[in-house]
Amino acid sequence: MGSVDLGGDKPQKKKGLRRPKRRVAVRIDMTPMVDIAFLLLIFYMVSTIFSEPQAMEINLPPTQTEKPTGESKVLTLRIDAKNRIFWNVAKEDPQQVELPALPKLLQDKVHEIPGLITLVKINKGARYSRMVEVLDRIEIVEYRLKEAQKVGKERGTVPKDDPEFSYTFSLGPWTRLDTKTIAKVTGEAEVEEGTATP
């Protein structure tokens, strides 16, 4: 581990009556220290729990549901650069809806239009948090309808073999046509894509 060297220094010339002091050289063997350092490093690497990346989980519908759909079954949600939410079905004029009222609107439309698909379009100037809020509301509606279906199966009002409800939605790109449509409804001048307003 370590060693002590008692000799090896050159004798110094005597100055007066004092004797020269012998220096003691100490050598420490660092090999065991390196072993311990590596063992500790390996221990911490093996026993450490790494945090999972935080990502938003989206439940996609099964692939069997991929089939052509008519415009009459598509509800379009648009989020403009001012973070306002507009909705319309097929070629109707878009109407503005506030975020708290969105789940009820979606739930009513799911009951009204069987096989409804929601298309979410977001302007580049909109806040990212607004998109997350809208997708959260869609998940709330899906959860409510799944629970209602589950209770219906237990009470016998819904057939037992009825497939589990899954809200079908997708994200689409914001186009120049969307900008024109919102500008026409609001009566405002077209806001350039990608420019956010406070």
The model's pLDDT over 32-64, given as tens digits with 9 standing for 90+, comes to 888 899 999 999 888 888 777 777 666 665 665
CA distance linking residue 68 with residue 90, whole number of Å:
15
The pLDDT of 13-23, averaged and rounded, is 68
pLDDT at 5: 54
User: Rounded to whole angstroms, how far apart are CA atoms 148 and 87?
Assistant: 25
Phi and psi torsions of 184, nearest 5° = -65, -40
Element (DSSP H or E) covering residue 131: helix 128-155
The number of angstroms, rounded, from the C-alpha of 125 to the middle of its chain's C-alpha atoms is 19
At what angle are helices 102-112 and 128-155 packed, to 10 degrees?
A: 50
Beta pairing class for 25-28 and 74-79 = unpaired
pLDDT digits 0-9 by tens, 144-194: 999 998 988 888 888 888 888 888 888 889 999 999 999 999 888 765 554
How far is Cα of residue 38 from the mean position of the Cα atoms in its chain? Answer: 36
Q: What is the pTM of this model?
A: 0.62
Q: Which CATH architecture has domain 63-186?
A: 2-Layer Sandwich (3.30)
Confidence of residue 127 (pLDDT cuts 50, 70, 90): very high
Q: What's the pLDDT score for residue 196? A: 47
> What band does 108 get if pLDDT is binned at 50, 70 and 90?
very high
